[in-house]
Amino acid sequence: MRNTASGALTLVYPSAMEELDRRLVGLLLADGRMSYTDLGKATGLSTSAVHQRVRRLEERGVITGYTATVSAEAIGLSLTALISVTPFDPSAPDDVPERLAHISEIEDCHSVAGVESYILKVRVGTPSNLEDLLARIRSAANVSTRTTVVLSTPWEGRSASALPRESD
Q: What is the pLDDT of residues 89-124, one digit of tens each?
A: 988 899 999 999 999 999 999 999 999 999 999 999
Domain count, the chain: 2
DSSP 63: S
Asked if the structure places residue 135 within a domain, the reply is yes
- Cβ atoms of 133 and 92 within 8 Å: the answer is no
Summarised one tens digit per residue, pLDDT across range 52-78 is 999 999 999 999 999 888 999 999 999
Prediction pTM value: 0.76
In the prediction, which pLDDT does 60 show?
Answer: 94
In the prediction, which pLDDT does 11 show?
Answer: 42
In the prediction, which pLDDT does 55 show?
Answer: 96
In the prediction, which pLDDT does 143 show?
Answer: 97
Residue 14 has pLDDT above 70, yes or no: no
Asked if the structure places residue 66 within a domain, the reply is no
In the prediction, which pLDDT does 17 show?
Answer: 75
The boundaries of the domain holding residue 6 are: 2-59
Query: Long-range contact list for 14-23, CB < 8 A, 24+ apart?
Result: 14/165, 17/62, 20/45, 20/53, 21/53, 21/57, 21/62, 22/162, 23/162
- Going from the C-alpha of 153 to that of each of 76, 79, 102, 122, 156, the distances in angstroms are 16, 11, 26, 14, 7
Considering the domain architecture, whether residues 82 and 42 belong to the same structural domain is answered as no
Please report, for the domain that includes residue 29, its CATH number: 1.10.10.10
Summarised one tens digit per residue, pLDDT across range 115-161 is 999 999 999 999 999 999 999 999 999 999 999 999 999 988 877 65
Considering the domain architecture, whether residues 92 and 116 belong to the same structural domain is answered as yes
User: If you average pLDDT over residues 6-19, what whole number do you get?
Assistant: 55
Considering the domain architecture, whether residues 142 and 80 belong to the same structural domain is answered as yes
